[in-house]
Amino acid sequence: MCGIVGYIGFREAWPIVIKGLKRLEYRGYDSAGVAIINNNGFNVYKKAGKVSTLEDFASDKDRSGSIAIGHTRWATHGAPSDVNSHPHSSNDNRLHIIHNGIIENYSTLKEELISRGHEFKSATDTEVLIHLVEEIQKIEQIDLMEAVRLALNSVIGAYAIVIIDRENPGQLIAARKGSPLVIGVGSGEYFIASDATPIVEYTKNVIYLKDNEIALIKPNELLIRRLDNVIQTPLIQELELKLEAIEKGGFDHFMLKEIYEQPRSVKDCMRGRINLKDGKIELGGIKEYADKLKNIERIIIVACGTSWHAGLTGEYLIEEYARIPVEVEYASEFRYRNPIINEKDVIIAISQSGETADTMAAIEIAKEKGATIFGICNVVGASIPRITHAGVYTHAGPEIGVASTKAFTAQVTVLTLMALYIAQQKGTLPVSKLTSLLTELNSIPDKIQTVLATDYLIKNIAAKVKDAKNCLFLGRGSGFPVALEGALKLKEISYIHAEGYPAAEMKHGPIALIDEKMPVVFIATKNSSYEKVISNIQEVKARKGIVIAIVTQGDTEVKKMADYCIEIPDADEVFLPLLATIPLQLLAYHIAVMRGCNVDQPRNLAKSVTVE
């Protein structure tokens, strides 16, 4: 969940590392630090706070050098502080390390190292790892790469690390297990990062380091070994990422930019996958499993956070059209149960980053039990696409804002395509109905654009309710996952307590909270539950609640009751989540901005949760 950047080559390293850390700040931003080597020696600068705080601190210090490592932290072990910031040093101050992940057996290792005379400055597990490397190197009298290899064979947990050696300044050592690490390949230079965003400005050629691999990196040399000491031949891939995709492009925040990108991201999600002429869906990523899909008995969707909400939407879609029972599980709970899974089951794992630790652990459990695993992921080269049997990329493009927006609608789009694809294989939908649904799905990007045109109205509503302490979001059917997602967005970035419920469940507890100060957001579009939702609105109004309703264009009945209405275009009920989610994203965004919150980097949150 932390951001890692490293550079070795002929350029000045500081500007590269600092710019890279800023691009990775969505991964962690409670502290930052850099270690840099030059002809005058070895300098380490680190501060609690954002990268800009580190920049200010080091502005009058020696930052020269062409070899450096940098880090942004999201705290796990030890509170945010200067001392707990990375890089961390060995006992003799020769080695420095940056680390993303958790060393689970750090406590046992620390006790052993203390008994050997090691003194620790921080409360982190990371410092224990670099002390262990130092101890092994001294005892065994071996080179640094071998010492790292032996040390990593002794630790339990997840890691992506880069190590710099004051006495061997012409090299970096990098390794990964369970946390992402990318190596950018230049001419006489290499770039290391948690993802490709800090690298794309300098090179399109990258190597995605695999689990249990260690890299020795010099300006003109790259050697990769596995932990079992077998030399690996690296696969160089070309980045599709474009630099402008990771810039704000004139928007005040990445989140707002990404909300407004959804007409394009949803369209990109469908591109090449819908054949309107023949009324068919083509999903090349799972094509070889087409026959298996005809006979599957159950689908289990595993995910976390926003991806879990997308999974709930997928449950409605798959059961409605493919007529297959679906269970949706939190990956964090699934991995610690003893789930009943067999060879006829299909597991769909959803993760924007493709690195979510709990989801990856759930995949491994399901694979051991013989299930077929499909992945839905946004990041090419991530871990989940590599460990699943097959899958579908969302092609949403980079999502920098911590609160997920376009990734959610992209995931829902892919799940819609998968539901209709499975129905196509099983023959559970008439061709005429499938063609009609595909035609309407193809129109969704334009309808999203129409919703975005109501932003000014949503901003005005946000001004009316921005001081609320609590908020309820209510929906029925496929509107229920939308309610959950709307509540999550509001609480994530504005820090207003918000909860999503099925509208009918309001009477079973939440109604006790409603008073004249409580905003209640209803998904009240014209669908099979419309009349029931109207009844729920009346119940809230009877208790003086403030009703904000998402309604179908032209609605007049809800408008008579609601305090505020936001219209969305008419669409088949199955496509409701793709449209109704947009105004809730904008509502949360504007409320957060008006409350002075850091929209792109909300407190205590990180974008990619690569630890438990």
Cite the active site residues. Answer: 2, 607
Is 472 within 8 Å of 513 (Cβ atoms)? yes
Residues 516 and 544 sit within 8 Å (Cβ to Cβ): yes
Q: In which element (H, E) is residue 100 found?
A: strand 95-103
d(CA 155, CA 178): 13
Answer yes or no: are the C-beta atoms of 435 and 441 closer than 8 Å. Answer: no
**How many CB atoms sit inside 10 A of residue 443's CB?**
12
Q: Are 122 and 103 in contact (CB under 8 A)?
A: no
> Considering only CA atoms, which of 68, 69, 83 is closest in space to residue 30?
83
Contact assessment for residue 458 and residue 587, using Cβ atoms and an 8 Å cutoff: yes
Q: 391 and 415 in contact (C-beta within 8 Å)?
A: no
CA angle 67, 607, 477 (to 5 degrees): 160
Q: What angle do CA 267, 272, 273 make, to 5 degrees?
A: 85
Residues 299, 304, 305, 307, CA torsion sign: negative
Q: Is the dihedral of CA 67, 102, 384, 313 positive or negative?
A: negative
Q: Which helix (H) or strand (E) holds 54?
A: helix 51-58
Query: Considering only CA atoms, which of 315, 356, 314, 319 is closest in space to residue 335?
Result: 356
Environment class of 507 (CB within 10 Å of its CB; exposed 0-12, middle 13-18, buried 19+) = exposed
**Strand-pair category, 205-208 with 182-185:** antiparallel
Sign of CA dihedral 266, 271, 273, 277: positive
> Following DSSP, what letter does each residue of 176-213 receive, concatenated?
EEBS--EEEE-SS-EEEESSSTTTTTT-SEEEEPPTTE
Gap between the Cα atoms of 387 and 195, Å rounded: 18
How is residue 569 written in tokens?
């275009």
CA distance 425 to 431: 11
How many contiguous H segments (helices) and E segments (strands) does the chain have? 18, 27
Three-class secondary structure of residue 498 per DSSP: strand
**What does the H/E/C string look like for 160-183?**
EEEEEECCCCCCEEEEEEECCCEE
Cβ contact 434:279 at 8 Å:
yes
d(CA 409, CA 581): 8
Task: Please give the single-letter amino acid code of residue 166.
Answer: R
Helix or strand holding residue 157 (H, E) = strand 157-165
SS3 of 420, please? helix
